Amino acid sequence: MEKLKLKKSDIGLIGLGTMGSMLALNIAEKGFRISVFNRTTATTKNFSKTAGKLLDNITPCETLNELVATIKTPRAIILMVPAGSAVDEQIASLRPLLNTEDTIIDAGNADFNQTNRRASEAIDTGTSFLGLGVSGGETGARHGPSIMSGGSKECWDRVSHLFEAIAAKYNGQPCAKWMGEKGAGHFVKTVHNGIEYADMQMIAEIYGVMRDGMQLDPKECSRIFAGWNNGQLKSYLIEITSEVLAAKDIETDKPILDLIVDRAGQKGTGRWTAIEAQHLGAPIPVIEAAVAARNLSADLETRKNGELVFGPAAKILPEGSLDLDNLEAALIAGKILCYAQGFALLSSANLAFGWSLPLPEIAKVWREGCIIRSSMLNDMASALAKTPNKNLMFAPYFVNILKSKSNAFRKVVTTSLAYGLPIPALASALTYFDLMRTSRSTANMIQAQRDYFGAHSFERHDKLGAHHGPWGN
């Protein structure tokens, strides 16, 4: 590998996996010089071979010392390594080589609690730390991701010009924003991924109704989703769903979807969203249902046994029981309620952690580059700008949509359940919708039970204070 280049780099990057290598190329393409390092030297060499003309802006390094020496001061170094202990190990190896003005930037997925800890440790050691949520997958990393930063505002201001340059653009505006101190950026990214889980699950459920209930083939399903992508459902996930459905296996010429094992993987970010929502007492049932559905999908053998024992759940729908407009309406309503829950969770985090997460700006950052980008986010940004602490389902624009779609939404859920078509996320969304418009719920029974067995007391409609029932001793 060639000796150190005379001209120093604007930034460094450690970890040349899929996301790291694409991000490095994006940075180089935007005219910034970047030094790169990977623990496995062969990976660095292979990356260099494929960089083409962009290698002129890239300095491959074989050691951390070399990496640090090739970067302008104050240095900024991006970590793109797996979440967990690998991040801590890399920070521990890197920190002795840095000055107090230098900044370590964790741009991988991370539990925001760990980011909070790392940010505090950085302060204690006199160095700087940013937790950077990056969304967009491989393509986004290469050509423009959505970026959610957390940590010192001063540190972000030092590097924001670079990240704004490489970020996706919406009408010329960069989809990159400082969200708040410490783990705020990674928390926002976690909620983004929770919404992503739910959005994907609801789309998959509608595909299941089409496939098993309506007996539609992948080609026809593809055509339907492509049409929906020209309307209110216009989004990245609807777009790629159409493309996935249309794709054929090169070897067999069969629809590729029919050959894929129905076992969904996950990296834990959806689970983190559900866990934090429970800690905050913020209801996100659609996201929780999506996480549970992925967990259930992993238990393939049990599901196969269940079908043998009880018979298959799914039945073919009677002709005319559901139409495509019904399905589209259900997805629109479910999507609104899912995003509403996600933003409500962000609002709860503001109260619990003393943050000022900029909810309208978050909606804007998600308009391009990220996996959940959707035409709806413009309207969500506008609604949140007017009433940032109000649940999105009560914003006038979305009230009108939900009112117009609710009957079709209910028809899809009830009909699907009646014919054994599993729709856990959509059913959870409908239940949430109903609970949120029930002024007198059945929680009075729960309070009575709690008081009966634990003397926890209850409130009364007709009297102030804490009270106990006549069952007490």
Catalytic residue among 177, 181, 182, 196: 196
Q: Does the annotation count 196 as an active-site position?
A: yes
Per-residue burial over 39-56, b = 16 or more CB atoms within 10 Å of its CB, e = otherwise: eeeebbeebbeebeeeee
Amino acid identity for residue 419 in this structure = Y
Cα Rg of the chain (Å, integer): 25
Residue 35: φ, ψ to 5°: -100, 135
Contact between residue 188 and residue 362 where contact means Cβ atoms under 8 Å apart = yes
Q: Are 388 and 332 in contact (CB under 8 A)?
A: no
Question: Contact, 458 vs 469, CB < 8 A?
Answer: yes
Q: How far is CA 143 from CA 25, 36, 62, 104, in A?
A: 9, 18, 26, 23
Distance in angstroms (rounded) separating the CA atoms of residues 290 and 424: 7
User: Cβ distance 160 to 153 under 8 Å?
Assistant: no
DSSP 269-335: HHHHHHHHHHHHT---HHHHHHHHHHHHHH-HHHHHHHHHHH--S--PPPTTSS-HHHHHHHHHHHH
Q: Would you give the distance in Å from CA 346 to the centre of its chain? A: 13
Q: Which of 182, 189, 335, 405 is catalytic?
A: 189
Cα 466 to chain center, whole Å? 41
CA 388, CA 358: separation in Å to the nearest integer?
8
Query: Is 189 one of the catalytic residues?
Result: yes
φ, ψ for residue 149 (rounded to 5)? -100, 145
Q: Which residues touch 174 (CB under 8 Å, ≥6 apart)?
A: 163, 164, 165, 167, 168
Write out the catalytic residue numbers: 189, 196
